[in-house]
Every structure is written in C-alpha cells, then in structure tokens.
Structure 1
Amino acid sequence: MEPTLAQLSSAIDATWVMVSAILVILMQVGFALLEAGSTRMKNAGHVAGKTVLTFGICSIAFWALGFGLTFGDGNSFLGLSGFFFDGNSTDSFSAFSAATVPISILFLFQLAFCAVSLAIAWGGFAERAKLSIYFIFSVLFTVLIYPVVGHWVWGGGWLAQLGMQDFAGSTVVHLQGAIVALVATILLKPRLGKYNRDGSSNLIPGHNQVYSVLGVLFLWIGWFGFNAGSTLGSTSGFFGYIAMTTNLATAAGAVAALAISWIVMGKADIPSMLNGVLAALVAITASCAFVDPWAAVLIGAVSGILTFYTSIWFDRIGIDDPIFAFSVHGVAGIWGTLSTGLFATPELAEKVGVGGAGLFYGGGFHQLGVQALGLAGAIAYVFVISYIILSVLKATIGLRVTEEEEVVGLDLSEHGGYGYPELLQPERVHPTATAKTSASHTLT
C-alpha cells in the first residue's frame, strides 16, 4: 500500500530527530578533543578516555531511571513512571503526547542531552579527580540531579506550567552541568602549582590548541542537532530558522570574544575566541526559537564578552576551572535563559506554544520573572544536591588523587600508560637501523 501523507511526514520527522540525536552524541567527540587539548599532555589520554566511560554509564542509568524521572508521568516535581524503558511503551510519557516521532528515538535524543550535561560537569574535575569518582557520580548525576530540573522544565513540572522558555537547555543542560563543575572545583581545590602563596595565578596552558579548535568545531556542528533537533520534527521547516539564529549567535560570540581579548590583552587570544563560540552556543540554546535574528547576534556577542571577563575574575578569586566550565556554560546559561524574558517575540512564543513575549516586545516583566524564578530554583537545587553528594564522597573515599599521582599525571597513575607514549618514553632503535641511517646520512 502507498504510504499516506501523514505517514510520510512522520517518517521524515523521525529521520530528522534520529540524525539530530547522532549529531548531539557526536558532541562527545568535541568534548573529548576540547578537554584533552585544554589540559596537559600527561592527562590527555585520561581526559579523552573518561568521555567514553561516562557516556556508557550515563546511557545505562538514563535507560533504567533517568528517562522516567525526567519525562515520566508523576507530579510537578518529578516523574514517577516509565523506568527501565522498554523502547515502545508511551503510556507513561504524557510529555511526548504531541510528538509524531517513535519514542525510542526520543529516548536516544534526550539521552544525548543528559550526556552533554554530564560532560560539562566533568570540566570542574579535570586533572585531579580519582577515576572512581567518575563511576559513582555519573550514576548519581543521571538519577538524582539532571532529571529533577529536566522534569520541572520539560517533563510537565511546575516551571513548565509557569511557561518557562528553555527551548533546548541553557538551564536544563548547560547550567546544571556548570553548577556541578563549580562545586567540584571548590571541593577539589586548585591544581598543584596553579596559585602562588601570595594568591597570584600561574598559567597552566593546554598541550594542544589544534585539538581545542577541532573540538569546538565539532561542538558547533553538533549544536545544530542540539537546537534545531529540539523541534522534534522537520516538516514545518521551523528547524531551519532555529539553525539560522544558532549560527548567527555563535558567529557573533566568536568575533566579540576575540575582539575583546585583543583590546584588553593586546593579543588576539585563540582560547578566548573558542570560549566565546561555546558561550554563544550555550546562550542561544534557550532562546533560539523565540528571538529575531538581530537579537540572536546580540545575545551571542554579549555572551562572548561575559565569558571573557568572568573567566578572568574566577581565576583571580582562586577558582581553578581548567575548562572554564562555569564561565562558558554557567554564566552564559544564565544570560541565555534571561534573554528570552527580554527578547522573545509574541509571534514566536505563540508558534512554540511556551510562555509569552519578552520585556522589549510588550510582555512586561512577567516572562523575565518566570525565567529568573526558574534559574533560582535550578541553581539552588543543583548546587545543594551536588555539594552534599560530593562532600560525602570526599569524606569517605576521597575526590582527589594523591600529590604524587597528580604530578606524574592521571594517564600513568590511573591507567598505567601515557596518551603519548612515544613522546614520554625513550625510543628503542635496533643497532642495524642506526647503522643504516648513519650510512645514509654519510652518502647524502
């Protein structure tokens, strides 16, 4: 039988969301390259490898409990059904009642979001946390932290009922991960050699800036699945508009961050530009479906500048955040969430069906107030719960490796081998090969 128009439309939507899920999962490649490049050579293998480990743990925990707690039917604060998801049943997921995409694809898409939030959190643990912490905290984050705020905003919870606008997760995904990263940096204390006795800071540069650039480009591309995929369909064509606002904001963040670094530091700083790209992506994630193109450019540019200054400030007050997780994902997440309360147009708010117009479009302070309330609730919950969990782990099994292990590097101390073994171990050359090389040089 020939497929009906509705069946074709559903198949196209499902394909788009599946492609988007793959793009968001590929963002893990971006995080691996960015974090490995932004840390020291002796930790590069560990930093990249734990990305695979934690994605695996997150996948199992989200399937067992996280998906149901986030999107399952329950109350205004938590989902209470749909655990150990069977891949087919929709009875427990009223939050997806309007979707035409198979729920198994929606599960993969939402799993990818949770994994991104967890990857952001690890920025605060970089270069000094025990490997065992990644096992334990991956499960606890996926079950006790991420689903709660996720349910509040996206699962029909109290913030959804108030009309909070967070289209693809400036608060749900990025701010949650950033707050955990901040708590981790506070409890773990700075890396050895980061600060002097007088409180002055020492630069600990990453070992491979090219890796960092490639990682950011992977994230930029993957973000089209992140934001545009959150339409959960493609046949309306609205995903194209969201992709456009996302790209405009990101471009503005890159240019603004590089420009401000050049003005302030006298040099065009590449890491600052990369942070500007990511900060703009984070900020536009909440507002990409609600704002005009000019506002997207403004949101991206402001986020790039904010991230530049706040990363310097956090470093000065003694917070050693190796990947700048809170500046990039936290500060920009807050700005991006508030920006919809300023710039959301009435037409786009009606089109999406969430909340109302922002302050500058005749909506008064109502939507801005809802956004601020959502931020306050999310920050308070995530900070308190993550602080309790990490404090208990610190008091029991410990969060941080020993000083000796930190000096040697986590590649060797946790995994028994370097990420770059040929550079850190003497090369053994057969005597015959040495003789042939010498003879070749003589002939030359």
Structure 2
Amino acid sequence: MESTLFTVNNVWMMICTALVFLMHLGFSLLEIGLTRQKNTINILFKNVFIISIGMILYALVGFNLMYPVSFIAGVIPDYFIDLFGLTMPENGLTAEYANGGYTYWTDFLFQGMFAATAATIVSGAVAERVKLGSFMIFTIIYVGIVYPITGSWKWGTGWLDELGFYDFAGSTLVHSVGGWAALVAVWLLGARIGKFKKDGSIGVIPGHNMPFATAGVFILWLGWFGFNGGSVLSADPAKTSLVLVTTCLAAASGGLSAFLVSLFRYKQYDLSMFLNGVLGGLVGITAGADVMTVTDSIIIGFIAGALIVLGVALIDKLKLDDPVGAIAVHLICGIWGTLAVGIFGDLSGWEQLGHQAIGVVSVGVFCLITSYAIIKTLKVTVGIRVSEEEEQEGLDIHEHGMDAYPDFRLNQH
C-alpha cells in the first residue's frame, strides 16, 4: 500500500510539473497577444530563454539555495553547505522525499518550474523597449539568487516560516517577487513611445492578436491546476480536489468582476480586462487555496478582479507603462491574496493577518532593493533601453533579423 501511494503521489506531482511547464506557453501567447506584431519574436525569445536558463540555474544553485541545510541568522541561506549542483540521494532515483511523498528529482523539477515564472512576469511588463541582453543578465541574477533566497524564508523553513507566515503556492513568493521587480523595471525603463502624450492623455497601444491572448489565459488557467494542485505535495483526494475547486472558482469570479467593474467604469465590454481579471483571481487565491471555502474563494476572486481594473488605472495615472498588466495582476493581486489568508478561511485572525503583512513587506523591501540594484547598474553601464529607431521599427527586425509573420506583414508603427 505504501509503495502504491508513493507511486500515485509521484505521478500526480509529475503531471502537475507538466501543467506548470505548459504555463510558460500561456505566458508567451498572452504577452505577444497584448503587444504589437513587430515585437513578437523578441517576446517569444525571452520566454524560451527564461525557462531554459531558469532550469539550469535552479539545478546549479537555486534548489540548494532555496532549501538550504542551514541559515545564517535565520535569514540568509548558508551558501557554503551543498550549494552547487543537485545531490544524488543515497538510494538513487527512487529516494523518497518530502515525508515520503515523492522523489527528490520530482521535487526539483516541480520547484524549478516555479522559479522561472518570476522572470516571466517581468518580461511582459518591460515588453517592446527593453534591451534583450540586459534583460537576460537581469534574469540570470534574479532567478538564480533573489528568488531562491526569498523562497527559502518560507518554503525552505526560514524565518517567515517560523513566524507563521502562510503562502500555499506563491501569491507573494512567486507572483509578488516578480511583480516588485516589474514595478522597478517599468519605472527605470520609461514608457513606450506614444503611450503618454504631451497633453497628459494616455495613448492607446492595442495588442495585435487578442485570440492569442485569450488562448494564453485559458492555458494559464489550466496550468494553475498544476501550480496550486501540485502544491498540496501529494495526491491526497480531499485536499487536491478542494484546491482545484477554490482555484477554478476564484478565476471565474475574478474574470466576471473585472468585466463588470470595467463595464461600469468605462461603458465597454473589455476583453483584456476580463482576461486579466481571470489571472488576478488565480493569483489572489494562490496563497490560501487549501484553507478556503467555496464562498471564500469566490469573494477573494471577485475582489481581485476589481483590483485589476483599479490597479491598471492607477498604474496609468502614475505614468508607468505596463503593456500586459503584469503589475496589477501579479503584484497588486499577489499582495491581496496573501493578506486574504488572514481575513478568510481556516487561518483567519488578526495575528495571522499581521504575519501575512510582515511577509508582504519584508519580501517587498528585499525585492525592491535587489531589483533596483540590478537594473540600475545595468542602466548606467550597458543600458537597458533600445534606441528610438529600434523601438519604432520593432525589436524583431533589429535584434533578431526576422519577422514573426513574413507573409502577412503589416505596418504597425
């Protein structure tokens, strides 16, 4: 019986790993759909690079940095103990890991998929004007070092875990980590040409393929069943089914809320708001998907959807240019979802809300400081923004020497 359970758990975790991997296709389609045709290859290249370098970095450094043998002062993972490379378990590939639930290797793959997601969030926010080389350097440092350190504070049994902070699948540890960096990057990078006009009005820069964006969101919604479902860390029927239900309902509620609030505010049935509302609901439920009731998940998703509309408006008002709404989705809804654990569900209470707030602030401060240091250094050395000519003509031609749709060339300058 134990052997059967071990196998079932391991197979479920591998299925979830595959679903999370599929999310990178979803991000790719969403990002190219919400941006212009002339930058399609550039965005796809970044997404392929992120998952490729992310897995290598996680194997060489990130996994052991995120799950260290010990901590220095309870905060910084001890770099000098088993830092580099994966460690072969004593009994090889069949080694039981995580309380006997699945193998060491399955855990590495599952956690590695999460690691790459943080940089993918930044990719969408800086689309259409960031230098590819500078973005790749940022990705290497942020995914290789910053993400594993913050993750170790909770998931690696660090100081936030000891405090009582709770983040089931990463509203803060994945989404906000990417969201804070996206905020800094957008600020230092500046807006795209034509986004904010001299008279103070906002220029509309529509995406070139809403069917792609819609397909991307449906793929992400599907992938989130692995993202949250796998975070149960077993195939436990009761826990897994509850997580899948709360995840799905929050997504549906978030989408409906965003479209309704957008309709009330702008008098239009805005598909992009609807899509980002779905994602906002998913990010919002991720911190507490396993401790919420059906009603809780619907409320959390509904509030997240409203925050998407208000968040996008706020970001525009601050003259920050986020082409895909990544800051509203991943940062604002990530913060909301993390705090929601202290307001709804099995863990709710003032003490828990305080723990959640400490987690949000501490991760936020660390990510703001580190991302600013990385991006500012790149800005004053190699530069982070392409020339005006490159931006006007498109990054695909200038940085890649090719066109995403050579047989259907459109003039979208």
TM-score range normalised by the length of the shorter chain: over 0.9
186-195 vs 139-148, which moves further: 139-148
Structure 2 runs not aligned, ≥5 long: 92-96
Q: Of 29, 34, 44, which residue of structure 2 is paired with 1:48?
A: 44
Deviation per CA, 1:57-99, whole angstroms, max 9, x where unpaired?
11111111111111122212233344343363389xxxx6424
> What is residue 397 of structure 2 aligned with on the other side?
412
* Contact 2:67/2:152 (8 A) holds in 1: yes
> What is residue 38 of structure 1 aligned with on the other side?
34
* Contact 1:261/1:272 (8 A) holds in 2: yes
Offset of 1:190 from its aligned partner?
Answer: 0.3
Equivalent-residue separation in structure 2 for 1:100 and 1:310 (angstroms): 40
Offset of 1:131 from its aligned partner?
Answer: 1.1
Equivalent-residue separation in structure 1 for 2:277 and 2:107 (angstroms): 30
Equivalent-residue separation in structure 1 for 2:100 and 2:156 (angstroms): 13
Return the index of the structure with the highest Cα Rg: 1
Residue identity opposite 2:328 in structure 1: S
In structure 2, relative to structure 1, the CA distance for the partners of 1:317 and 1:89 (3 Å cut) is same
Identity value in percent: 38
> What is residue 119 of structure 1 aligned with on the other side?
120
Equivalent-residue separation in structure 2 for 1:78 and 1:292 (angstroms): 35
Residue identity opposite 1:83 in structure 2: L
> What is residue 348 of structure 1 aligned with on the other side?
none
Scaled by the length of structure 1, what TM-score is found?
Answer: 0.88
Residue identity opposite 1:142 in structure 2: V
Equivalent-residue separation in structure 1 for 2:370 and 2:25 (angstroms): 28
Count of matched residue pairs? 402
> What is residue 89 of structure 1 aligned with on the other side?
89
* Contact 2:64/2:86 (8 A) holds in 1: no
Offset of 1:268 from its aligned partner?
Answer: 1.0
> What is residue 359 of structure 2 aligned with on the other side?
374
- 1:16 matches 2:12: yes
Offset of 1:287 from its aligned partner?
Answer: 1.0
Offset of 1:425 from its aligned partner?
Answer: 8.1
Offset of 1:45 from its aligned partner?
Answer: 1.5
* Contact 1:188/1:399 (8 A) holds in 2: yes
> What is residue 58 of structure 1 aligned with on the other side?
54
> What is residue 375 of structure 2 aligned with on the other side?
390
Deviation per CA, 1:130-161, whole angstroms, max 9, x where unpaired?
11023211210112210111000110100001
* Contact 1:43/1:127 (8 A) holds in 2: yes
Deviation per CA, 1:199-227, whole angstroms, max 9, x where unpaired?
22101010000000000000000000000
- Partner of 2:402, secondary structure, is coil
* Contact 2:47/2:123 (8 A) holds in 1: no
> What is residue 136 of structure 1 aligned with on the other side?
137
> What is residue 384 of structure 2 aligned with on the other side?
399
Equivalent-residue separation in structure 1 for 2:334 and 2:355 (angstroms): 15
Offset of 1:280 from its aligned partner?
Answer: 0.4
Equivalent-residue separation in structure 2 for 1:128 and 1:82 (angstroms): 39
53-62 vs 104-113, which moves further: 53-62
> What is residue 78 of structure 1 aligned with on the other side?
76
Offset of 1:162 from its aligned partner?
Answer: 1.0
Q: Of 349, 355, 358, which residue of structure 1 is paired with 2:348?
A: 358
Which structure 2 residues correspond to residues 324-363 of structure 1 after superposition, within 5 A? 324-345=325-346, 357-359=347-349
Equivalent-residue separation in structure 1 for 2:136 and 2:90 (angstroms): 30
* Contact 1:69/1:78 (8 A) holds in 2: no
Residue identity opposite 1:12 in structure 2: V
Offset of 1:375 from its aligned partner?
Answer: 0.4
Offset of 1:263 from its aligned partner?
Answer: 1.4
Offset of 1:123 from its aligned partner?
Answer: 1.9
Residue identity opposite 1:378 in structure 2: V
Equivalent-residue separation in structure 2 for 1:375 and 1:204 (angstroms): 32
Deviation per CA, 1:254-303, whole angstroms, max 9, x where unpaired?
11111111111111110000010000000000010111110100000000
> What is residue 94 of structure 2 aligned with on the other side?
none
Residue identity opposite 1:9 in structure 2: L
* Contact 1:46/1:419 (8 A) holds in 2: no
Which structure 2 residues correspond to residues 27-426 of structure 1 after superposition, within 5 A? 27-75=23-71, 76-80=74-78, 81-86=81-86, 88-89=88-89, 97-345=98-346, 357-359=347-349, 365-424=350-409
Equivalent-residue separation in structure 2 for 1:82 and 1:13 (angstroms): 27
Residue identity opposite 1:166 in structure 2: D
Equivalent-residue separation in structure 1 for 2:54 and 2:219 (angstroms): 21
Equivalent-residue separation in structure 2 for 1:222 and 1:299 (angstroms): 20
- Partner of 1:391, secondary structure, is helix
In structure 2, relative to structure 1, the CA distance for the partners of 1:10 and 1:425 (3 Å cut) is same
Residue identity opposite 2:351 in structure 1: H
Equivalent-residue separation in structure 1 for 2:32 and 2:314 (angstroms): 24
Equivalent-residue separation in structure 2 for 1:97 and 1:34 (angstroms): 34
* Contact 2:118/2:143 (8 A) holds in 1: no
Equivalent-residue separation in structure 1 for 2:90 and 2:317 (angstroms): 50
